[in-house]
Amino acid sequence: MAAVQVRGRRIGSHIILSVWSILVLIPLWIMVINSFKSKLAIYRSPFGLPDQWTLDGYLSVFSRSSFPRYFFNSIAITTISIAGIIILASLAAYAIARWKSRVSTAVFLFFLAGMMIPIRIGSINLLMILRNLGLLDQLIGLLPIYIAMGMPIGVFVLTEFMRTVPPELTQSAYIDGAGDFRIFWQIVLPLTRPAMATVAIFNLVVLWNDLWFPLIFIRSESQRTLMLGVTRLFGQYQTDWTLILSTLTVATVPIVLLYVLMAKQFIAGLTAGAVKG
């Protein structure tokens, strides 16, 4: 009887996951397939395969002088931001995980509050801060904002993961004369690679697709990110959907590649670190 119940639960979970996967893949299918169609073909048959495949949209993406710049800007600011998030969040998480007191618990809860309070509600104050710092209309002005956006989830995942590291490892290193930084760098940090992959992928999706802050803080053509550049393709009377869908398809490539390369560590980080506490 128990085996039948377990089997029934597995079948039910597979059905739910299959339905969810289909719902997720349908928009991707529409985006990719329509990127190889002409504008008229998209309106005639938005869900079917193209009668005549065309690469005009992709050629336009890379032939236009602005869009390669948008790609570079997005890759640069996203990469630097994720690197900053991982470095700062790992240091904070190591301190919180090793510091057993009410103060450390309060600090940890402070970071958790950042996951519940959206940073966008402070957009006006952030605008004033960037203006006073002279970072308005500069790509680097997004860096501290993006790091602040990613710190809560980074501290949460890495703290819970570091608490699972056996204390015998660090105690043995202390006996051998290693300091805190050496223990962190040579012992704890290599063990947290799955958790760091989880943090990187979570923040990559959020930062790469962010339109809110570039729309508010960026005006110069040379400082635009990819998502902000896509908004220029929407015309008042007509829209080149082939070009838009081709651009969005290319924009999904970095996210897909990173997930494929780090899938095992990402899943390990979710199952081992993020669900323990």
Domain that holds residue 180: 58-273
Q: What's the pTM? A: 0.82
10 assigned to some structural domain: no
Of 218, 216, 207, 226, nearest to 64 by C-alpha is 226
Euclidean distance between CA atoms 112 and 117, whole angstroms: 9
Mean pLDDT across 139-158: 93
* CATH code for the domain of 128: 1.10.3720.10
Mean pLDDT across 67-87: 92
244 assigned to some structural domain: yes
65 assigned to some structural domain: yes
32 assigned to some structural domain: no
Euclidean distance between CA atoms 38 and 260, whole angstroms: 30
Number of folded domains that form the chain: 1
- pLDDT surpassing 60 at residue 104: yes
187-191 contact pairs (CB < 8 A, 24+):
188/94, 188/162, 189/90, 191/165
Structure-model confidence comparison of residues 222 and 146, the more confident one: 146
Q: Which residues contact 191 (CB under 8 A, 6 or more apart)?
A: 165
Euclidean distance between CA atoms 265 and 277, whole angstroms: 19
